Amino acid sequence: MAYTQLTETERYQISSLKTAGFSQLFIAESLKRSPPTISRELKRNQEAQAYCPKQAHLKGLARRHFAKKAVKITPEVEKWIKRLIWQDLSPEQVADYLKRHKGISLHHETIDRLIYQDKIE
């Protein structure tokens, strides 16, 4: 099942059901969402013991806007990784170099995976 963020409508439904005294499990079943999703939403956006759906939605939009985007490993990035690995740099050092000098943020385990899959020779 694909992940989808809560909509503003769903947040208002959470607020109404919570105010009416329904359990998180009931709310989750009503919205066809997992109970941890509802729990996390309430914990993350509860202010002074009250859940404000408008504020929660604005925070959600901000989180989505500032979330890190996945880096596509282009042939050029692959070439840089090969070059640095051939210079006997560890995947951690390669990741650090790429971040500092090329502005490319890759986790060292991604580089490990590329090496393991024989994508980097």
- One domain, residues 84 and 48: no
Give the span between the Cα atoms of 63 and 52, in whole angstroms. 16
Residue 71 has pLDDT above 80, yes or no: no
- One domain, residues 62 and 81: no
Domain that holds residue 90: 75-116
pLDDT per position as a tens digit, 43-66: 999 887 889 999 999 999 998 888
Q: What are the tokens at 111?
A: 């580089």
- One domain, residues 15 and 60: yes
Residue 26 has pLDDT above 80, yes or no: yes
Instruction: Classify residue 109: in a domain, yes or no.
Output: yes
Dihedral angle over CA of 66, 72, 75, 76, nearest 10? 10
Per-residue pLDDT at 53: 93
Instruction: Classify residue 2: in a domain, yes or no.
Output: no
Instruction: Classify residue 41: in a domain, yes or no.
Output: yes
* Residue 3 Ramachandran class (φ > 0 left, ψ -120 to 50 alpha, else beta): beta
- One domain, residues 31 and 55: yes
pTM: 0.60
Number of domains in the chain: 2
